[in-house]
Structure 1
Amino acid sequence: MSQRKRAAKNQRPKVIPIRLDATFFFERAVQSLDRYHYDKALKYFRRAVEYEPENPVNHCNMAGILSEMGRYEESNVILRSVLDQIDPAMTECYYYLANNYANMELFEAAEDALVRYLENDVEGQFLEESDELLDLLNYELNRPTKLATIKAKENIYAHDKARELLEAGRFAEAVKMLEEIIARKPDFLAARNNLGLAYYYMGLFEKSVATISEVLATEPGNLHALCNLAIFYQHSNQRELLDSLVRKLNKTVPFHPEHVFKMATTLGIVGQHREAYRHFHRLLRTGELIDEPSLHHFAAIASVNLQRYEEARKHWQQAERMDPQSPVPPYFLKRLDLVRQGTESPPTHYHYHLPFEEQFKRWENSPAQVTEALKGDPLIRSSFFWALRHGDRRTKVQVIQALGLVADEEVIEALKSFLIDPDEEDELKRVAVLVLRSIGMQDALTVMFSGRTITLEARRKSARLPVWDSAWQTVLEHALEGMSGRYDVVQQHDMMTLWVDYLSRVYPEVPKLHKSTGWAAALEYWTAKMHRRTVTYADLVNRYGVSQASISRYANRIDEACGIREKLDLTRPSFH
């Protein structure tokens, strides 16, 4: 072959072959749709279906074109074949069917298809359009549509319920529900935020921080997560981390009223009263949330801490006018002059309820009133759980005893969680164990004492005590003090269980406990005998400062009610 021929051959244009597949015909169909050439688009979608008959999207595209062309019955045949034969999980087909039936004025069939869509579709792609179609069907059928649930909104409904549980102080239930929501929808950040709060209220600090950190990893500017984290740092005394976070918050200017309110209360809680004051007054100036008495209360708290006493007075007076049944505004108005004179410190807690000391003072002689408040007022209930974790020692003792009056599942879970918190005092845990036993909780209990986890074995069930009297607590404290260093935790627990058992058996005819140390010595006496420990009356007289006759008398009373000597004789014949 000549050189010229070879050159000509090399210069021939290259032919690129067309690859005829589903993608090729899909693209041609879309181009035809853009030009409103429906016939051509339908032809190309049919070819795409021929190449990929198992792909439900191609079938739905073909059904969509037929619907656009007014060929609703043909469209429905294809949609039903997708649901029956190709992909039953493609629930949006029910929405397409509902639209076709509505256009055919078959409103009953449209309603059935729409209900199937709403009750089965998880993603909720056509929720807004479904609302409009529901309105049309309600009008045409002259009745509301019966819906068991809207699947796509289940997580939203569940989240709302979890928030109610959280506000009611039912933290364990809220945690369970929020964990289930996140398992179904990991990107539901609001649920993850509230889960972090619930963990925190339950004292699970590390889990709460980890959960909030997950939110911030996805959305670094999430205001609720940042505010929650600031409160966590405040109560765990992580000052350096808190200061850094507060600087970040102070550079943030929220616009939504709820975000402004969240920012203001958070800054107040962490001691940034000036910035909190600024945000509260933003809300008051704009008229947002102005009908909330709590907003005026919080603005008053911030004002007092900035020595704006007259402003504080006006805010509390306004809160009193708006909420005349609440004891909160009048209480703080009475204290205002004392703060102004410097004889009392300004209030720093941003909660719309009385301080715990005042609440307990009012309820001191009325257990029924405590029970009613804890069961009937979610805010008070929530504040009690908060104080269980963050109050001072005296407050925690009062809270533990008060929670025993309610004794529902949430209280039991909260106290059991308290028992394994390494940061709580052993003495407080002993009070919690005693209250759990006194309310009839006789299952085995896991407790962390002095950094060591132990299991207190289950006890036989005894009658539940309706109250826990301070005189009974005094006996217990004397016994624990006398036994300290001589008996292990399990033996001390057995002593506590014996005391609860005795009180349960003789209640309501509990004798006057004039000599609490004598009763305490009697409890140690029987505890030693049950554990085959050597103890003499002389030891007890010396340590408790009571006579042998008193110890013997009280020991006999306990034995008469509980039958200890008989049980020991049955189980240990050699004991004398």
Structure 2
Amino acid sequence: MSSNTHQDWQSARRTRTNNVVSMRFDAAYFYERGLRFLERNDLPRALKAFRKTVEYEPNNPVNHCNVAGVLSELGNFEASNEVLMHVLNDLDPDMAECQFYLANNYANMGEYELAEDHVLRYLDADPDGEYAEDAEEMLDVLLDEFGGGKVYAKWEAKRRQEEQDLAKQDGRHLLEQGQFEAAVEQLEALVRRNPANLAARNNLSLAYYYTGQCEQAIATAEQVLAENPQNIHALCNLAVFEAQGGSRERLQACVNKLSKLFPLHYDHAMKLGTTLGLIGEHAKAFAVFDRLVRMVDRPEPILLHSVAASAANAGYLRTAKKWWKLLGQHAEMKEVAQYYLDQVERLRRQGKRVHISYQYDLPLRSQFAEMKKRLQTGDLATWRQDPLLRASLYWGLRHGAVDTRKAVIRTLALLADEDGEKALRMFLKRPDVDESLQAAALYALQRTATRGRVEVWRNGELQSIRMSDVPKDIILQVDPAWETVHARVESWLREHHKARYVAEAKRVWVAFLRHAYLTNDLRIVKLDIWVAALIYHVLKRHGESVRQRDAAEWFGVSTSSLGKAAARLEHVRSERT
């Protein structure tokens, strides 16, 4: 080649080089190429392009995820998982979507337990994330079609434990279980240790209210609001307290504040709507529930009932019927929905004001049937943990008439649990408790196997007594009539030279009273019937020659009445006093 030719070639090369636009290769360039190859379903070239993005930006987790996605499409699930684990272990541990990708890969590999594990990890990390709906659908398939559930069971147990641990930090678990006296005790201790725990202070306010200590409840709620004026729980609590007998001005101030709020948190919005309903602001309650029900994809039954109840109470009957009909589409809620539809229609025909509870309940017939079934099977666990039952019991114990208090004490004796024991101990310290109520409370404590000392208000002061010193036959003192029957039987036996049967008669009578008291199955109208029946029963048991007619004539009662009473005594086994 001549020198001139070489120079011409070099000159032409420089000219061509100067005319070419230089290309800038970076991660964005190869990302766009990767997307174009994916659109053409050219997976090998898409993989090559995405791997280039990793070379340019090795610390960008999205680039690695794109590589993992193409590997998965190619069926190379193990390699895809290696990339995803690299992202989680080395680049971004909080990249929740990697857990969903891993779940997909393991499902395709037939590793269903691992798939179940990772889909649950995704739902834990990002329950409202981009793939949440797909993740829930995948979980359903894994559980229903592939025999899964072991991992889910462990996850559910762990979640429940975490919720319990969180609830214990603010005392909420005791409120949820209806153990209000225990809640007061624990929450007061929590607040003393950490006054900044507003959740505990709000729960303490509720505990005071449920145990009838209204002034303390209001004061506690006001203290929270003094520090945090927008605290939704304290505002709602205070509104309910004021509505139950507080100041109308303070109640209206609460309503004005609550009317301006709409919490984005579901539970907070439910509490706001329910509170407005409880204090009679039904139109405002409907506005909250109506807005909330339109925000959620699948309204829960309690929300559907709440929006219907608030509409009915506000006078929007057509709207209320619409929501109850929607509630009735849930198979388990069909009876409940129909009950309220019928109730509203009946009230409308009668021209009466509609007032529906914001907490849906089964029709009364169903409630009574369920209660009867539980009592027959001895299953009292649900009643022990029913917060509404607990609240009504403690309120009745503090503020009810004598008959109400007796009924509450009887119920607490039947429940026989730690929180009931605390309530009874507090009750015995009150100066307005007469001797018969004290006897009932002491018998209830005997039945709960209470030990140690209790304080009882006697002779104008608190006296400490040992439970071991409480008479075993204390139940005789619960009702003056019961003690009178025993005294008259003992007197008759001694007068007729049958004193050897006195102890036996007392054992039979005390055993019978214990049984009848707990079942609320004893109403003495005529003392002579029970005196005659008890004497006849004891004499008959010891082979004495006595007829029902004889015993009836001794006390001037009918033979049939004596026979019925004696038969009831016969069915109760004697107990040692």
Please report the TM-score for the alignment, with normalisation by the length of structure 2: 0.49
TM-score, scaled relative to structure 1: 0.49
Which of structures 1 and 2 has the bigger CA Rg? 2
